Amino acid sequence: MDNKKLSCADCAVTNCNTMDKSYPAFCLTTNMDEELKKEALDTYQEDDNLKVMRAAAQVEHEGYMQWCRVREIIEFAKKMGYKKLGIATCVGLIRETRMLTDILRSHGFEVFGIACKAGTVPKAEMGIDMSCCEVGTNMCNPILQAKMLNKEKTDLNILMGLCVGHDSLFYKYSDALVTTLVAKDRVMGHNPAAALYTSNSYYKGLKKN
């Protein structure tokens, strides 16, 4: 076995979620950096962090195994007192975004959405390889999406199917908190976990030999 550092990614026990005190030798709970833990706990006292955590816990409790994620977002936003919601959407999911907008507005929220291709900037202007134009001439613009929603002063932004990497840039530049409703996976019907569940059968090729 190579000399790799084990972490929660290697754990099959997860007793940190129970009252069971038996942990693997590499467990991050029993090998915790207490100073870092205190720093994290102290950070919950900053801004609205504690309010967010409490609202999230309430949503988890009240809707556990009952509410879909759309409902969870609605209830979370209400508990936080949010009024204006932003949507950063892939143009390929504009139909779903319109459905979501209709639902959110029915609950009294103000909604402002921006699609990834807004502004129509050609990929060539950013030095993106021309071969990438085979799936579209214009670039996705997640930083513009974030800045537009920042300008609108949204309270919470909802991510709808931005590409891998583009979503990362949106998270980076959004002033408001971001929650993801749709994680894009065109092959799996936007259910990325399906590839994991079939990684020992249909998608066993995902693992490098």
pLDDT tens, residue order, the chain (209 aa): 467 899 999 998 999 998 888 999 999 999 999 999 999 999 999 999 999 999 999 999 999 999 999 999 999 999 999 999 999 999 999 999 999 999 999 999 999 999 999 998 888 887 888 888 888 788 899 999 999 999 999 999 999 999 999 999 999 999 999 999 999 999 999 999 999 999 989 888 888 87
Q: For residue 21, what pLDDT is reported?
A: 82
**pLDDT at position 25:** 92
> What is the rounded distance in angstroms from the CA atom of residue 114 to the CA atom of residue 46?
30
Please indicate, yes or no, whether residues 55 and 87 belong to a single structural domain of this protein.
no
- Does residue 131 sit in the same domain as residue 43? no
pTM score, whole prediction = 0.92
pLDDT at 43: 97
What is the per-residue pLDDT for 160? Answer: 98
145, 117 contact by CB (below 8 A)? no
- Based on the fold, state whether residues 54 and 136 are members of the same structural domain: no
Residue 18 falls within a domain, yes or no? Answer: no
pLDDT at residue 2 in the model: 65
> Are residues 120 and 198 both part of a single domain?
yes
Cα–Cα distance between 170 and 90 in angstroms, integer?
A: 12
pLDDT at 20: 82
pLDDT for 39 equals 97
Task: Confirm whether 173 is domain-assigned.
Answer: yes
Q: Are residues 140 and 113 located together in one domain of the fold?
A: yes
| Res 107: pLDDT | 98
| One domain for residues 113 and 205 | yes
Residue indicated by tokens 């971001």:
178
Query: Is 181 within 8 Å of 111 (Cβ atoms)?
Result: no
Contact yes or no for 76/59 (Cβ under 8 A): yes
144 and 44 inside one domain:
no
DSSP letter (8 states) at residue 127: T
- What is the extent of the structural domain holding 54? 29-66
DSSP annotation of 52 reads H
Considering the domain architecture, whether residues 128 and 202 belong to the same structural domain is answered as yes
Q: Indicate whether 12 belongs to any domain.
A: no
